[in-house]
């Protein structure tokens, strides 16, 4: 007995539907990870850095200004050491960095200057199943100490001495994403400085920026609006709902830019 030949569909509507279904775009990745900058974002440590830099330079007979300190915010510590050496500090790079870290860590560990709402946001992320990483240009002796003040909140810590190229290079954020075992499309970064924002965006991450007023209440430098960037007025605004919305909007804009959706992508400053 021979098998019956299956009928060939003749309905034009059915024939047209098949290729359309095959061409349907894949679902956008869901938010799974949040990568947090440390200094100025998680803790308000910038005044401690300014005080430590000033003390070192003056100890070696030089002068140090708030303007000079502000230009270093977000930079890796090797670069900071080189600038301080040019300002007159007569210490080798590693010795100089360790001296800075010791002074800053002492003040931060004593005062615990958490940025507004950050601990609540970290706890909410953990309860929602979002995995957090700390991505900082400070060295490990400081980053792990601060992470230890919020036990269980940071699954991964990336420090300045873990990478060859500091922010604004994307290496630190890419390493954080890899250590979380996620893709860039599943993550959002939280930053406070133009240097850090440039690093996160270069890594291809949806980014939330919260400019941190330091030294007299003025932000370090204006953060320029860019695709994939949401600028907030306070870290107290950070919630899981907001992070998910930022992630979703950034993914949608990326898909429009790639031609997956018909709308036109626009660059804007988000007001959330």
Domain-ending residue, one of 87, 111, 135: 111
Residue 270 lies in a domain: no
Tell me if residue 192 is catalytic.
no
Residue 266's pLDDT is what?
36
The answer to whether residue 98 sits within a structural domain is yes
Alpha carbons 32 and 188: distance in angstroms, whole number? 9
Residue where a domain terminates, one of 111, 135, 156: 111
In sequence order, the β-bridge partners of residue 209 are 191, 231
The whole-number pLDDT of residue 230 equals 97
Shortest CA distance to 196 belongs to which of 57, 76, 53? 76
Instruction: Indicate whether 151 and 216 sit together in one domain.
Output: yes
Does the residue 18 lie in any domain?
no
Is 2 or 159 the better-scoring residue by pLDDT? Answer: 159
Number of domains in the chain: 2
Is 50 exceeded by the pLDDT of residue 84?
A: yes
- Domain assignment present for 26: no
Q: Is 39 a catalytic residue?
A: yes
215 φψ region: left (φ > 0), alpha (ψ -120 to 50), beta (else) = left
Mean pLDDT of the chain: 86
- Considering the domain architecture, whether residues 101 and 234 belong to the same structural domain is answered as no
Of residues 189 and 72, the one with the higher pLDDT is: 189
Please tell me which residue in 37, 44, 76, 192 is annotated as part of the active site. Answer: 37
Residue 104: give the domain boundaries. 46-111
Considering the domain architecture, whether residues 203 and 68 belong to the same structural domain is answered as: no
Indicate if 129 and 100 belong to the same structural domain. no
Q: Are residues 99 and 124 in the same domain?
A: no
| More confident site: 221 or 262 | 221
On whether both 189 and 155 belong to a single domain, the answer is yes
Contact 42, 145 (CB under 8 A): no
User: Which residue among 39, 44, 76, 192 is the active-site one?
Assistant: 39
Final residue belonging to a domain, choices 89, 111, 133 = 111
pTM: 0.81
């Amino acid at each position: 007995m021979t098998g019956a030949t299956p009928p060939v569909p003749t309905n034009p509507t059915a024939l047209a539907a098949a290729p359309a279904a095959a061409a349907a775009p894949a679902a956008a990745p869901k938010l799974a990870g949040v990568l947090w900058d440390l200094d100025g974002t998680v803790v308000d440590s910038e005044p401690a850095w300014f005080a430590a830099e000033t003390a070192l330079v003056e100890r070696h007979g030089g002068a140090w200004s708030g303007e000079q300190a502000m230009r270093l915010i977000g930079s890796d510590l090797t670069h900071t050491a080189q600038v301080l050496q040019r300002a007159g500090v007569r210490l080798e790079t590693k010795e100089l960095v360790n001296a800075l870290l010791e002074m800053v860590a002492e003040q931060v560990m004593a005062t615990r200057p958490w940025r507004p709402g950050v601990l609540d946001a970290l706890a909410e992320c953990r309860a929602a199943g979002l995995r957090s990483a700390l991505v900082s240009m400070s060295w490990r002796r400081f980053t792990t100490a601060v992470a230890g003040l919020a036990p269980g909140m940071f699954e991964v810590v990336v420090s300045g001495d873990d990478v060859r190229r500091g922010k604004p290079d994307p290496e630190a954020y890419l390493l954080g994403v890899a250590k979380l075992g996620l893709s860039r499309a599943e993550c959002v970064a939280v930053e406070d400085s133009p240097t850090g924002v440039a690093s996160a965006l270069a890594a291809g991450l949806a980014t939330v920026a919260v400019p941190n007023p330091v030294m007299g209440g003025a932000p370090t430098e204006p953060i320029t609006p860019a695709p994939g960037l949401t600028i907030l007025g306070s870290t107290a605004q950070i919630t899981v709902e907001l992070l998910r919305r930022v992630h979703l909007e950034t993914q949608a804009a990326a898909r429009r830019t790639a031609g997956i959706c018909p709308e036109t992508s626009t660059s804007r400053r988000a007001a959330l």
